[in-house]
Amino acid sequence: MILIIGLGNPGKEFEHTPHNLGFAVLNSFQEQNSFSDWQEKKKMLSLLSEGEMAGQEIVLAKPQTFMNKSGKAVKALLNFYKLKPKDLWVVHDDLDLDLGEMKISQAKGSAGHKGVQSIIDETKTNDFVRFRLGVSLFEEIKDLEKFVLKRFSEEEQESAEEIIGRVVVALEVSINSGLEQAMNDFN
């Protein structure tokens, strides 16, 4: 089983913002691969969708704890499904990459991402896979929190949708052909 977490903040006001790219990727993946409808699981602090690909069960999860507390939901999900962190894939925004870029990595530090740091703190490990989506806009960011919660402009939204599509394909390649193949193809 693979548990794929999309990081974001619950609520309509956070849609189409850099911080919610993880949710957007999972929404697109769920729809394109005919996974189950999203269901709220309060015990696991998440919205879940399930499906099967390449002969293995896949669980998609969107934590409803807000970004900085994502680790609480991830820990609850790992415990419920009796999974190890190596079975965990996290999709999230990344200010170290330009808007439209992506990188797949494993066993790395949080690089200041509070959602990822929350997961590391709660699980006591960084040994999980990350699908990092660039959100940097080639400008000096004076107020980080304001930047990641600001809605994309039309032009930025187009770039965001392109990267969402690429990450969906990267997830599919990772599931069907393995992470190494996806890293070779997309990094």
CATH of the domain at 142: 3.40.50.1470
Predicted confidence at residue 17, as pLDDT, reads: 86
Q: Is the dihedral of CA 81, 87, 88, 91 positive or negative?
A: negative
- Cα 22 from chain centre: 4
Annotate 30-80 with DSSP letters as a single string: HHHTTPPPPEEEGGGTEEEEEEEETTEEEEEEEESS-GGGHHHHHHHHHHH
Structure tokens at 118: 């929350």
Q: How many domains does the chain have?
A: 1
What pLDDT is attached to residue 115?
94
Looking at residue 156, its pLDDT comes to: 80
As annotated, the active-site residues are 19
Residue range of the domain that includes 54? 2-186
Scanning the chain, the segments in alpha helix (DSSP H) are: 21-32, 70-81, 114-123, 144-148, 154-177, 179-186
Segments in the chain below pLDDT 50 = none
The first and second tokens of residue 4, run together, are 């794929």
Question: How is residue 5 annotated by DSSP?
Answer: E
Per-residue pLDDT, 63: 97
- pLDDT, position 68: 93
